[in-house]
Amino acid sequence: MILEIAQLEVAPPRQTEFEAAFAEAQAIIASMPGYLGHELQRCLERAGHYMLLVRWTTVEAHELGFRQSAGYQRWRALLHHFYDPFPTVLHYAAVAGPGLAPG
């Protein structure tokens, strides 16, 4: 499993509109092969700052399967116009935590 993390910056006056669009868009990502789950977190200290966490089976499930799908075009139309600046998206693999052997 890998974890995709995207830091999203949304103009504070558009937060409600963004969250409504995300409520629709999350069904798109959830339908993708290799998708395992997601969370959208709103920052308490910085208005308009969100963290999107998406769990995928592989990086390829995200980069190739999702980003090259017709569903991604709808996702992009729903969400990308909210971001300023456009987010950096990185992928992470677990190295420690419950159920993981050390080292």
Q: What pLDDT is recorded for position 98?
A: 85
Which pTM does this prediction carry?
A: 0.92
Name all domains of the chain by residue range, CATH numbers in brackets. Answer: 2-92 (3.30.70.100)
pLDDT tens for each residue of the chain, 103 residues long:
999 999 999 999 999 999 999 999 999 999 999 999 999 999 999 999 999 999 999 999 999 999 999 999 999 999 999 999 999 999 999 999 887 766 5
> What does the alpha-carbon distance between residue 100 and residue 103 come to, in Å, rounded to a whole number?
9
> What does the alpha-carbon distance between residue 38 and residue 40 come to, in Å, rounded to a whole number?
7
CA-based torsion, 20, 23, 28, 34: positive or negative: positive
Q: What pLDDT is recorded for position 27?
A: 98
Name residues whose C-beta falls within 8 Å of residue 86's C-beta, 6 or more positions apart in sequence: 80
